[in-house]
Amino acid sequence: MSLAESFLKKVPQYTRNKRHLTSVLQHGTPRKWANLARLELERKAARVELKAHPYLMIIDPCNYCNLSCPLCPTGLNDLGRPQAMLSFAHFKKYFDAFSPYLFEAYMHNWGESLLNKQVYSMIDYAQKHNVGTNLSSNFVKLDSRDLDNIIDSGLEYLIVSLDGTSQESYKEYRIGGNYEVVVNNLSELIRRRNLRKKKTPVVEWQFIVMKQNEHQIGEAEVLSKKIGVDLMRFIPVGMPYEFQNRKEVADKWFPATVEGRVKSNHEEQQFGQAGKPGPCFYLYRSVVVNPDGGVSPCCIVYRKNRDFADLNVDSFDPMKIWNNEKYQSARSLYSSTIIPNRRTTVCDGCDIFERHPSKKLKAAPENNLVTIS
């Protein structure tokens, strides 16, 4: 293993995941690698004002959805943000500002991205600018052209959300979805990709383990091999940041068996970090852009009143945004640095990462995120 690879394997919660490591190697340039090294050093030193640029972008092509999942703010119609379709022109404007340092763009956040038919041009654009793309979809509302477009766009990694191996268990969470349709779409995509002898998109079947489907883990493993997905991944169920009745929700949805909990215990998928590392890596590595141009501090929070910037209003200098008062105020929670004119942000109530001892939360907030352990 090269020196660079062994450094990358140590970047917490990022390059330890093979998919991300592949992106860093495949889409890296000397400038991007130098930026990554600089950023990780700044993060370790808990710097508040950064010289390094974010190296991941989460950009949401739309926050509309065809399903009504009961633990998703979009499904609950409780996003607290106007719904919008991102136009290609706006995508390009936002993407171009950050792209020279990006390894990856996540082409989803709080909606069903494939409802926006411009998403294929966005993926193609990102790939042509040497930025890898991934996208998560419920894979329900597609036609034959969508399957070809997904392959032709150059999408590198596709996550298909399919939580169960029967309509009965699947429909409990994916309200409005149809199990058979998703399985057929998934199988057909893989068939066409293989027929064309293409390696991409790499296809992951993502199965959120919940009470109603935990008994189907074994069946899913068998079926995933039959369909030929590249990776079968069981992930823990989370709940929206703003939920208050967390215990009640956990009792209803969290798996009851040990197998359910163990199988879904993918560390990198957990919102709550088991060992509570600090500082919060979202505030260093990733810029999150919503379809209305609002910038969220991370992909966990969604309400517009939590935003750190508005790309349609604020000065469009990416480093000015990246080091604005809100970002610096939030990062200062992880450092001894006292900044003048500190702003209170959503991060002040967040208990996911380890704060600096001088900035500890007085009491655990109601709305922190629950970790399955």
Ligand X SMILES: C[S@@+](CC[C@H](N)C(=O)[O-])C[C@H]1O[C@@H](n2cnc3c(N)ncnc32)[C@H](O)[C@@H]1O
* C-alpha pair distances (Å), 7 with each of 32, 38, 63: 14, 12, 36
What are the E-state strand segments in the chain?
Answer: 56-59, 104-106, 132-137, 157-161, 202-209, 231-236, 286-289, 294-296, 309-310
Contact flag: residue 65 with ligand SF4 (CB under 6 A): yes
Alpha-carbon distance 223 to 226, whole Å? 5
- Which residue lies nearer to ligand SF4 by CB, 94 or 170? 170
Task: State the minimum distance, in angstroms, from the CB of residue 71 to ligand SF4.
Answer: 8
Among candidate residues 68, 142, 54, 64, the one with its CA nearest the CA of residue 99: 54
Nearer residue to ligand X within complex by CB, 224 or 332: 224
CB closer to ligand X, 238 vs 318: 238
Q: Does 142 bind ligand SF4 (CB under 6 A)?
A: no
Q: Is residue 309 near ligand SF4 by the rule CB under 6 A? A: no
Nearer to ligand SF4, 175 or 262 (CB): 175
**Closest approach of ligand X to the CB of residue 305, in Å:** 19
Q: Which is nearer to ligand X, 11 or 72 (CB)?
A: 72
Task: Choose the contact partner of 108 out of ligand X, ligand SF4, none; CB within 5 to 8 A by kind.
Answer: ligand X
> What is the Cα–Cα distance from 130 to 108, expressed in whole angstroms?
18
Minimal distance, residue 4 CB to ligand SF4, in Å: 27
Could you tell me how many residues of this chain bind ligand SF4 (CB under 6 A)?
Answer: 23
Alpha helix ranges (H) inside 264-323? 282-285, 318-322
Whose Cβ is closer to ligand X: residue 99's or residue 206's? 206
SS3 264: coil
Please, are residues 62 and 115 in contact by the beta-carbon 8 Å criterion?
yes
Residue 217: contacted member of ligand SF4, ligand X, none (CB under 5 to 8 Å, by partner type): none
> What sections of 1-66 are H helices per DSSP?
3-8, 18-26, 30-44
Question: What is the rounded distance in angstroms from the CA atom of residue 162 to the CA atom of residue 372?
Answer: 20
Q: Does 297 bind ligand SF4 (CB under 6 A)?
A: yes
Question: Is 314 buried (19+), middle (13-18) or exposed (0-12) by CB count in 10 A?
Answer: middle
Q: Can you read off the two tokens belonging to residue 174?
A: 């994916």
Q: Got the DSSP string for 48-95?
A: SS-SSPP-EEEE-SB---S---TTSTTTTT--SS---BPPHHHHHHHH
Question: What's the count of helices (H) and strands (E) in the chain, helices before strands?
Answer: 14, 9
- Piece in contact with ligand SF4 (CB under 6 A), picked from 39-47, 244-252, 276-284, 359-367: 276-284
Out of ligand SF4, ligand X, none, what residue 301 binds, judged by CB under 5 to 8 A for its kind, is: ligand SF4
Two tokens, residue 61: 């092509």
Mask of contacts with ligand SF4, 338-367, x by CB under 6 A?
--------xx--x-xx--------------
Work out the burial of residue 153: count CB atoms within 10 Å of its CB; fewer than 13 is exposed, 13-18 middle, 19 or more buried.
buried
CB of 338 to ligand SF4, least distance (A): 18
The residue among 282 and 334 lying less far from ligand X, judged by its C-beta, is 282
Smallest separation, CB 154 to ligand SF4 (Å): 23
Q: Enumerate binding residues for ligand X (CB under 6 A).
A: 65, 69, 71-72, 108, 110, 112, 136-138, 159, 161, 206, 208, 237-238
Q: Using the 8-state DSSP alphabet, how is residue 336 labeled?
A: S
Q: Which is nearer to ligand SF4, 68 or 83 (CB)?
A: 68
Span from 17-25, 78-86, 163-171, 279-287 in contact with ligand SF4 (CB under 6 A)? 279-287
Contact residues: ligand SF4, CB under 6 A: 65, 67-69, 72, 74-75, 111-112, 138, 280, 282-283, 297-298, 300-301, 330, 346-347, 350, 352-353
